[in-house]
Structure 1
Amino acid sequence: MVLTNREKMILELLLKTSGKHSALSIASYLQVSVRTVRRDLKNIERLLAPQGLQLVQNKDKSLCIQGANQAVFKLVQELANVQPVDLSAKERKLLLFLKLFQSDESMKMGPLAHDLAISSTTLTSDLDDLSDWTNDFGLTLSRKRGVGIQLIGSERAKRTALANFYLFYFNENLIEAIFQLNHQTLAEDQLVLHYFKANHLIVIDQAMKSNMKTLYAELADSDYISFLIQVCIAVQRYASGHPLQDDDQDESISTEMEALPFVGKIAAIVKNQLRIDLPVQEKAFMVTLLKGSRLQNAESIYFDQVITGKAIKKLIQHVSQALHMDLTNDFSLFQGLMAHLEPSLFRIRKDLASVNPLTKQIKTQYSVLFQIIERSLREVFQSIRFPDDEIAYIVLHFGSALEQRKQKRNIRALVVCPTGIGASKMLASRLKKEMKELYSIKIASIHDMEKLELDQFDLILSTVHLPKQKIPCLFVNPLLSQADIEAIKQVTDRLTGKQGQSLFLTDQEQIQEETGDHSLEQLMDEIDRLQAGIRAIMKTFKVIRPKGAETTQAILQMLLSQAADDSLVSDVSRVLCRLIEREQLAGLGIPGTDMALFHCRDRAVRSLCFRIAHLNEPIELAAMDGGRIPVRNILLLLAPEALHPMEQEVIRTVSSSLVDDRESTLIFASANETTIRAKLEANFYQLLIHKFK
């Protein structure tokens, strides 16, 4: 089957939304003339005839493909493997971008148009679009008569612009390419998506996977792909003689290299296998990218950044007041925002652009919520300006919280969604609201999907194109458009008819649906876990006045040795190293106080533990806001590596209590063990009341 890109898009559109489109609506969708669409439709008719299919126009001028189901299914399979004979507009612009990106000299219009096999008019139009894109990243697309065209800007800006171009326009292609690279043998010099060397992607991908355990938590799928391609761009650019310039370096980050062994190990593997020795500034740039990445699971977040935690609680309060709906006790929302906003704030401060392909749709579909959150962010984070792309991500988190409703369901669905924590929750929430047929919905990343028994599901819904699966698999928009809902209903209707009564809820399952997701046993387990966590904190809490310890490390060593004597820590040296590493990642001093919160989760910690060391003379330490403060109270909060969500709430309660208000801050800084214990008891009492009332 020989098709152009536009013809393939029209065919896919007609197959997915049969009877919903006319020539006029297709022309509007593709942004071409109706005459162009009609010309393409004539060619499509000729292609369909040998397949036993025909293109039919209904009385309302809507178009549909008619024929035997087997013939339609065969057409769908063939389309999936068809490579268009021409380049799509986005692929053409990518090739143009790459030529300018890789050239150190100005390029003439004529030869450039000839190389791309396009007209000068098309080239001018593409350059206009590309100029709008590059301007957002601090780059200039210089076009001078007699001189030529050149991309001007810093090396860092060029890399960031190219990476975001790939993520915005070719995200699905990247995921599919990386998936295929791990399952087939490719030539070393083969290029993926016209730029990435196959062997470079394979080596870096395997290095990341094998060393992911050295991070505090796994990256979200979208940020995993983002970090992978940006590292690959950095490696290839450095190898081609385009290192980062002096003004690209971030000195504050380069000092933290030893605290992030993940980047160091990737660099070592790149050196050994690709023979490319990356200098410190390249590794520091990777650290910056890594610190701006989101985590795979909201539950993986440490509730230690008390300043950010307090701001998030305030943000939830503002939004709750505006919506007249109390979200302040939604711990899942707090977790999701904590997981997102920590790296988000870092990206904004470091001027790292984050492109959100759903921004325009979110602003249209959730305009009121977008405005409320935009206003609330301005009030809470007064010194930070959130771009629309970042606000849109936050809207997804609140939208997810607002759309959590129970519905009677009878189809078991697997949601495969690598677009981030908020997006996956949003899709699941929309499904629960719109699709009453769904009995259960499980969210999985692409990595997790390979480990699941797919036979336990009736349907897969994915926000990216997946290879053919043994059960029905639909590609859907993360915001679940009306067309997606109708497509899902067609499949669920077929499944219900095919499997009959086996898909409907039994009486026992109906009772479970009406009483909620948790059984009595699960609820009692949560109560037990929460009580055990509170008791562990209250039992281990002490205020200590160290003698003879003058350095931070000596004070921590003494606190940990006492914890080991109480059988709370099994390996003092290991936990001490983790605490020091954590301090090097970012300051732990709490601004506006004389306290510093040292914390870690590690397998060498046997129980939750909270202790305070009160010093006679202050020690100057790095603060959470980047400054330095004198510290008289070193707070130590330890937790085992494996934590139940209820135990995480206990930790969050301790850390957020430190700066709840001025009175709380004064109490924890007082070094009065009786007063602090009473404050902890009061806060834990409120936690129990609000959690289980």
Structure 2
Amino acid sequence: MSIEKLLWKWKEGWPNRLPEAAYTRLLIRLSVAVTRMQQNHWINPSDRMVASAGERQPHPRLERFMEAFELEWPEAEKEYVQKLLDDVEEYAADDSAILLEKYGLELAETAVDLIRAVGRRMDIPFDQDRSLLDGLIRHLGPALERLREGKAIRNPLLAQIKKDYEPLFAAVREAADEIWRDLVVPDEEIGYLVMHFGASVERWQLFPRNVRALLVCTSGIGSSKLLAVRIHKEIPQIELVGHYSWYEAARIPQDRYDLIISTVDLPVEPDRYIKISPLLTREEKEKLLAYIRTIAANKPSPSAVKPSDDHGPWERLKLINTYTSAIVQVLDSFAVYSLDLAGGNDHLQAVLTAILARLPKGMLQREETIVERLIQREKYGSQIIPDSKLALFHTRSEWVRKPVVSLFRLSAPLMLGPDGTSEVRQILLMLAPQSLSRPILEVLSEVSAMLLLPETIRLLEEEEADKIKSFLSLELETFLRTKWEWRE
């Protein structure tokens, strides 16, 4: 109870974003650590813990935690508690950009490969389920870390999973063996992966096609945006065709939508719409799911709905301007540099130092600190894009003043990878300030995701700056057009 009160006293909000299981696990681990220290039982520091203690930045909450409990705090105990807080805060962020930053693009590509491999075997379009991709990226990062460290994995539901999802279990097992040839993946972990795919199967069976809905909300654009985001996140199969007042919605032909979702009472028959709050509580989510199951299965697909041209034009223009400005800011400084590695300066620190020196003046401060951070990221996991001679080096830092996306072509190969045998000929550098607007963060994340496209790799390896920038511009224009908010 003392630890829980302490967490909530910080008033920082992230404990509220944790799932119940993760929050309970954090409370238990912190409670055990404090109780253990109170009884003079100390953990033995490992070599890895000692090494990382000097690398990890001091956690601003660790000191407050230590002040709350008057105990001896050896470095190993500080490092342990700090890691608990760091890890759980990253988990609470629940952001795909952060996940990619932590685990790298290779993890995203692995998740995509697994989805496609299972989809081929089951003949189910798993690649259309964004929730499945997000869930797998979130799960595979720590799961693969556990497997590579040889930690035992328990799955008390394994027998039931094998019984209930026998064909799916076999498909996931075959796909995992195909993708991770150098890693032993036990049935227990396959069981957890099957649960992700099983949930996707259930979603697909419930909604074999998207359900089109009008959103009616008279309590302000802020509440309608909140509800729209909640629906998009919780039930992505619902396609919101626009935000309308009841006056506007009543004049849209009924054959152009499946249902009306409203935050207020409407002067129509109760079976023509469903009323929910802008917060979309768990009970309302279940109510909404139950309401649309029959619709999705039985009603023919409606014709495409074109949003009213005069619906929220000022809001649409501001949105377009915000994201367009972000795209221009990211691409405006894009350049391709040739880097001469003559003279034997072919080790990573020298290369990164030379790379930062080529950037326009005023974009960076304390380049040596940024170099150290980039090197540290390489130590945690290779930055080489699979099946290419391209490496992505990226970080966010308070010493970066403006976003940087630039390509550097090396005159001689740089050898990287765990065993130092992987050849790198191009380095794509992505730097961003620590404090970053949401649109720019999304644009940078989208550029990172483009590295999953073979055409992007080919252009970066072979073409000049103008052609590369043209391709990136086209892809980002498509990203802008297909953003869900574009249709508001």
TM-score, normalised by the number of residues in structure 2: 0.61
Aligned pair partner of 1:392 in 195, 200, 214: 195
| 1:298 and 2:101 are equivalent in the alignment | no
Contact 1:557/1:572 (8 A) holds in 2: yes
The one-character-per-residue Cα deviations of 1:113-156 (angstroms, maximum 9, x if unpaired) are xxxxxxxxxxxxxxxxxxxxxxxxxxxxxxxxxxxxxxxxxxxx
The residue that corresponds to 2:432 in the other structure is: 639
Deviation at 1:606, TM superposition (A): 1.4
Q: Structure 2 vs 1, CA of residues 679 and 300 (structure 1 numbering), >3 Å: closer, same or farther?
A: closer
Describe the SS at the equivalent of 2:338. strand
> Could you say which residue in structure 1 is the equivalent of 2:262?
439
Q: In structure 2, give the amino acid aligned to 1:647.
A: V
Percent identity between the aligned chains? 16
CA contact (8 A) 1:400 1:426 kept: no
Q: Do structure 1's residue 312 and structure 2's residue 111 form an aligned pair?
A: yes
Separation in structure 2 between the aligned mates of residue 432 and residue 520 of structure 1, nearest angstrom: 18
Alpha carbons of 1:209 and 1:459: their partners in 2 closer, same or farther (altered >3 Å)? closer
Change (3 A) 1:515 1:481: same
Q: Distance in 2 between matches of 1:561 and 1:399?
A: 53
Mapped to 2, the partners of 1:438 and 1:542 lie a distance apart of 52
CA spacing shift, 1:683–1:228, aligned 2, 3 Å: same
In structure 2, distance between residues paired with 1:301 and 1:357: 30
Equivalence for 1:559: 355
1:600 to 387, 391, 395: 395
Instruction: Look up the SS of the partner of 1:308 in the other structure.
Output: helix
Contact 2:404 2:429 in 1 (8 A): no
What is the SS of the residue equivalent to 1:542? strand
What aligned pairs does 1:170-569 form with structure 2 within 5 A after superposition?
198-203=1-6, 209=12, 222-244=21-43, 251-252=47-48, 254-261=50-57, 265-282=60-77, 285=80, 294-301=91-98, 303=100, 305-322=104-121, 324=123, 328=127, 334-350=133-149, 372-373=171-172, 375-382=174-181, 383-385=183-185, 386-393=189-196, 395-396=198-199, 403=207, 405-408=211-214, 427-429=234-236, 436=259, 438-439=261-262, 457=277, 461-462=281-282, 474=283, 480=286, 485=290, 512=307, 521=317, 524-525=320-321, 528=324, 532=328, 535-536=331-332, 539-546=334-341, 549=345, 552-565=348-361, 567-569=362-364
Q: Is the 8 A contact 2:211 2:238 kept in 1?
A: no
What secondary structure is seen at the aligned counterpart in 2 of 1:255? Answer: helix
3-state SS in 2 of match to 1:588: coil
Amino acid at match of 1:559: I
Could you say which structure has the greater relative contact order, defined with CA pairs below 8 angstroms and 6 or more residues apart?
Answer: 2
Judge conservation of contact 1:267–1:277 (CA < 8 Å) in 2.
no
Supply the distance in 1 between the matched residues of 2:337 and 2:115 (Cα, whole angstroms): 33
Give the AA of the match of 2:95. A
1 CA distance for matches of 2:350 and 2:310?
53
Distance across 1 between alignment mates of 2:318 and 2:159:
41
Determine the structure 2 residue equivalent to 1:88: none
Amino acid at match of 2:213: Q
Instruction: Give structure 1 stretches of 5+ with no counterpart.
Output: 1-197, 213-217, 417-422, 441-455, 463-473, 489-509
Give the partner amino acid of 2:339: I
Q: In the TM superposition, what is the alpha-carbon distance from 1:227 to its structure 2 partner?
A: 3.0
What is the SS of the residue equivalent to 2:71? coil
* Equivalence for 2:298: none
Displacement, 1:598?
1.7
Q: AA paired with 1:234?
A: A
Return the offset for 1:230. 1.7
Q: Secondary structure at the match of 2:432?
A: strand
Amino acid at match of 2:403: S
Partners of 1:369 and 1:199 in 2: how far apart? 45
* Matched residue SS, 1:407: strand
Residue equivalent to 1:497 = none
User: How far off is 1:380 after superposition?
Assistant: 2.8
Task: Quote the RMSD (CA, aligned, Å).
Answer: 5.5
1:298 is aligned with what amino acid? Answer: D
For the residue of structure 1 that corresponds to 2:211, the secondary structure is: coil
Following superposition, the deviation at residue 274 of structure 1 comes to 0.9
Give the conservation status (yes or no) of the 8 Å contact 1:589–1:629: no
Cα contact 2:172–2:194 (8 A) shared by 1 = yes
- Distance 1:614-1:349 versus aligned 2 partners, 3 A rule: same
Q: Report the counterpart of residue 486 of structure 2 in structure 1.
A: none
Residues 177-215 of structure 1: CA deviation (Å, up to 9, x unaligned): xxxxxxxxxxxxxxxxxxxxx3233345657949x8xxx
What is the CA–CA distance in structure 2 between the aligned matches of 1:326 and 1:235, rounded to whole Å? Answer: 48
Letter in 2 for 1:274: F
CA distance in 2, matches of 1:584, 1:279: 26
**Alpha carbons of structure 1 residues 524 and 237: separation in structure 2 relative to 1, 3 Å:** same
Per the alignment, residue 405 of structure 2 pairs with: 609
Equivalents in 2 of 1:308, 1:362: separation in Å? 25
Q: What is the distance in 2 between the residues matched to 1:587 and 1:230?
A: 31
Structure 1 residues 671-691: Cα deviation after superposition (integer angstroms, max 9, x where no partner):
x663x8756755765676698
Q: Residues of 1 paired with 2:80 and 2:184: CA distance?
A: 23
User: What is the SS of the residue equivalent to 1:341?
Assistant: helix
Contact 2:390 2:424 in 1 (8 A): yes
Q: Deviations over 1:248-280 (max 9, x none)?
A: x65445522334336x55554443331233445
Indicate conservation of the 8 Å contact 1:530/1:646, yes or no: no
Q: Deviations over 1:504-544 (max 9, x none)?
A: xxxxxx9759999998648855883686377447x333232
